Amino acid sequence: MKAYVTGAGGMVGSHLVEALKKHGYEVVGSYYTPTTDIKEIDPSIRLFELDVRKHEAMKTWINDYLPDKIFHLAAQSFPVVSWKDPYYTVDVNVNGTIGLFEAIRDAKAKHPGYDPMVVVISSSAIYGEALLSYSPDHLPKEDCPMLPLHPYGVSKAAEDLLCFQYFRNYGIKTARVRLFNCTGPKKVGDITSDFTKRAVLLEKEHSNKLVVGNLTALRAILDVRDLCEGLIILGENGTPGEPYNICSSHIFKMTHVVECIEKVMGTKYELVQDPKLLRPADERLYAGNCDKIKALGWVEKYEYVDTVRDMIAYWKKKLN
């Protein structure tokens, strides 16, 4: 069974290609402007450079390899960056997804019987302001309205709807993943990554002043290893055309991030808020109902404090 991962140079993609290999897949991944050090990926896994916006190159690749499972992770995935450059964000996330689907359409026409399953990583950011109507005791399911609060969320809503459109119009099997917060070793640009990295640097500097942003929001942060297992389950057993929330079941305020770091590092921090780290718009609650994917057998295995411990160990190794 052949699997192809776009965005293999990202945090999730770099973990996913290795998880797929452990599951027995023949895996190939593509990357462009990777956010991780691809030298850290298992060298036996084939990787190559491909900008998903290069539509003819994507058509050639899909027709040549004909992967059975496609995991589309390539994206501009930082909300903060989307405020600064919405044009680039939409170009990568929307046009890149169209290019992949058009390549699959072309391959299906040229190779009768070719019928891949495509798992596309959208985002729970598509829900946006609609999350204000929910609480930890009443979490949003996949029928939650799409009311994104930033350009990244808008681009992911478009990507999600493209999955539905290509399934309905052309019969391309898709699973739409509404991913909530996820982190792990090699992650950059999220609260757990930023804080664990700062904690390691502070230890080197013999300082305890931790710079923070908004710590009042409620989040559920999933370990990337649990996410990878969920994606593989959807590739094998997901219902084509359907959306699936993937989220941790453990909801907490962002102060808990600091508490877990303090526990692992054995240090009490003085918190200093930086206004530059506050977003123009932010969801108060960022968690979802995952009953739909749990019905397929997905189980969350990792506790958040263990994720923090592994990320601190990663940064200590990386920064030494």
pLDDT at 281 over 60: no
Statement: residue 320 has pLDDT above 90: no
pLDDT for res 65: 98
Q: Map out the domains of the chain as residue ranges.
A: 2-184+221-247
* Residue 284: predicted pLDDT: 67
> How far out from the chain centre does Cα 46 lie?
21
- How do residues 163-181 score in pLDDT, each as one tens digit? 999 999 999 999 999 999 9
Residue 277: count of CB within 10 angstroms of its CB: 13
Using the predicted structure, report yes or no on whether residue 102 has a pLDDT greater than 90: yes
Q: Which residues, listed in sequence order, are joined to residue 173 by a DSSP beta bridge?
A: 117
- For the purposes of burial, counting CB atoms within 10 Å of the CB of 208, is it exposed (0-12), middle (13-18) or buried (19 or more)? middle
Mean pLDDT of 266-281: 78
Hey, how many other C-beta atoms are within 10 angstroms of the C-beta on 163?
26
3-state secondary structure the chain: CEEEEECCCCHHHHHHHHHHHHCCCEEEEEECCCCCCHHHCCCCCEEEECCCCCHHHHHHHHHHHCCCEEEECCCCCCHHHHHHCHHHHHHHHHHHHHHHHHHHHHHHHHCCCCCCEEEEECCHHHCHHHHHHCECCECCCCCCCCCCCCHHHHHHHHHHHHHHHHHHHHCCEEEEEEECCEECCCCCCCHHHHHHHHHHHHHHHCCCEEEECCCCCEECCEEHHHHHHHHHHHHHHCCCCEEEEECCCCCEECHHHHHHHHHHHCCCCEEEECHHHCCCCCCCEECCCCHHHHCCCCCCCCCHHHHHHHHHHHHHHHHC
- What are the tens digits of pLDDT across the range 30-65? 999 999 999 999 999 999 999 999 999 999 999 999
Per residue in 249-263, pLDDT (tens digit) is 999 998 999 999 999
Q: What is the pLDDT of residue 273?
A: 83
pLDDT of residue 244: 98
* pLDDT tens digits along 300-313: 999 999 999 999 99
The pLDDT of residue 278: 64
pLDDT tens-digit series, residues 109-125:
999 999 999 999 999 99
pLDDT at 282 over 60: no
- Nearest CA to 270 out of 213, 222, 210 is that of 210
* Residue that has been written with the tokens 């942003």 in this structure: 213
The per-residue pLDDT for range 231-243, each reduced to its tens digit, is 999 999 999 999 9
Nearest to residue 191, comparing CAs of 39, 79, 40?
Answer: 79
Q: What is the mean pLDDT of residues 270-280?
A: 75
Other Cβ atoms less than 10 A from the Cβ of 302: the count is 17
pLDDT in tens, 172-223: 999 999 999 999 999 988 899 999 999 999 999 999 999 888 788 888 999 9
31 Cβ partners below 8 Å, 6+ apart?
Answer: 7, 8, 9, 10, 13, 38, 47, 48, 49, 50
- End-to-end, the C-alpha distance of the chain in Å comes to 39
* Bridge partners for 177 per DSSP: 121, 244
The pair of three-digit structure tokens given for residue 142, joined into one six-digit string: 């996949």
Say which CATH architecture domain 2-184+221-247 belongs to.
3-Layer(aba) Sandwich (3.40)
pLDDT in the model for residue 275? 75
* pTM for the whole structure: 0.92
**Residues of the chain above pLDDT 70, percent:** 98
